[in-house]
Amino acid sequence: MAAERISLVTGGTGAVGKAICQALARDGSDIAFTFHKQEARAHELAAEIESLGRRVFFAPVEARSGQAIEAFCTRVEEEFGRIDVLVNNLGIIQVMPFALLDEEDWDDIMQVNIKSMFLFSKAVLRGMVRRKQGVILNMGSIGGHRLLEVPVHYATAKAAVSGFTLSLAKELCRYGIRVNEICPGLIEGGIGSNVSPRQLEEYNAYCSMGRPGDPREVAEMVAFLASARATYINAQRMVIDGGL
């Protein structure tokens, strides 16, 4: 059965990335995904995607290397013929007080969390512009928009996602390409694993749902925004934080 879409998900082996790949596959998409070190998880995820009757392609990609990113995206287009959806999901966090941050710490967070978003988007856009259609979904965080106890360099990179999304959406709308941001709150199993019991208790106290989110709840929003059900949604920040 032919796929409705070809979707590329960066950082596919994390809790949220895995859920996104699964949700997109269930929604009729063939999947390409990147990973860094978790090769065993990558093979397990690929088997799950194939069990859903979907094709899959995956490879380790160094997020700091423009050359590696360009080569991976070219290979995906060779394998599948096109890329319809890009989910810029990969990211890292470093829990460090601002006073102890080194220049290298700052640069590393910016390279992985925001520069890679630029590099992957640039690599897939030629095909999208040529076909005059496509979807780019950028993973932000409420940590970049709320007064929360999060590392400064991480919050700065996540705040930058909003500016990147808005500007890119405006530039690409003439080609029929939609660009949106997904802005999760605290999510179980992902970066939320780094929070302390005190921080978790505080989040639950202020969250109207009284709990962290499940990766699948983020993934369902991604699948919706990637689909033809969301063709009139563009340049938006979709907040999934349980009502914080």
Structure tokens at 6: 């070809």
pLDDT band of residue 136 (cuts 50, 70, 90) is: very high
State the residue range of the domain holding 213.
Answer: 5-240
pLDDT at 2 over 80: no
pLDDT band of residue 4 (cuts 50, 70, 90) is: confident
pLDDT confidence of residue 1:
63
Between CA 4 and CA 80 the distance in angstroms is: 12
**7-26 pLDDT tens trace:** 999 999 999 999 999 999 99
pLDDT confidence of residue 190:
74
Comparing CA positions, the residue from 189, 178, 167 lying closest to residue 20 is 189
**139-197 pLDDT tens trace:** 999 999 999 999 999 999 999 999 999 999 999 999 999 999 999 999 998 777 778 89
**204-230 pLDDT tens trace:** 999 999 999 999 999 999 999 999 999
Question: pTM, whole model, 2 decimals?
Answer: 0.97
Domain count, the chain: 1
221, 238 Cβ separation under 8 angstroms:
yes
Percentage of the residues of the chain whose pLDDT score is greater than 70: 100
Interval 94-123 mean pLDDT: 97
Rg (CA), the chain: 17
pLDDT confidence of residue 3:
76
pLDDT at 96 over 80: yes
What's the mean per-residue pLDDT of the chain? 96
pLDDT confidence of residue 52:
97
Alpha carbon distances (Å) from 159 to 54, 95, 108, 142, 146: 34, 17, 16, 8, 10
Between CA 18 and CA 57 the distance in angstroms is: 14
- For 63-72, b/e burial (b = at least 16 CB within 10 A) is beebebbeeb
Backbone conformation region of residue 148, classed left if phi is above 0, alpha if psi is from -120 to 50, else beta:
beta
Strand order in the sheet with 85-88: 56-60, 29-35, 5-9, 85-88, 134-139, 177-184, 237-240
Comparing CA positions, the residue from 143, 123, 144, 142 lying closest to residue 134 is 123
**CATH code where residue 179 lies:** 3.40.50.720
154 is known as an active-site residue: yes
pLDDT confidence of residue 192:
72
pLDDT confidence of residue 195:
86
**22-31 pLDDT tens trace:** 999 999 999 9
pLDDT confidence of residue 107:
97
pLDDT band of residue 138 (cuts 50, 70, 90) is: very high
Annotated catalytic residue, options 154, 175, 203, 206: 154
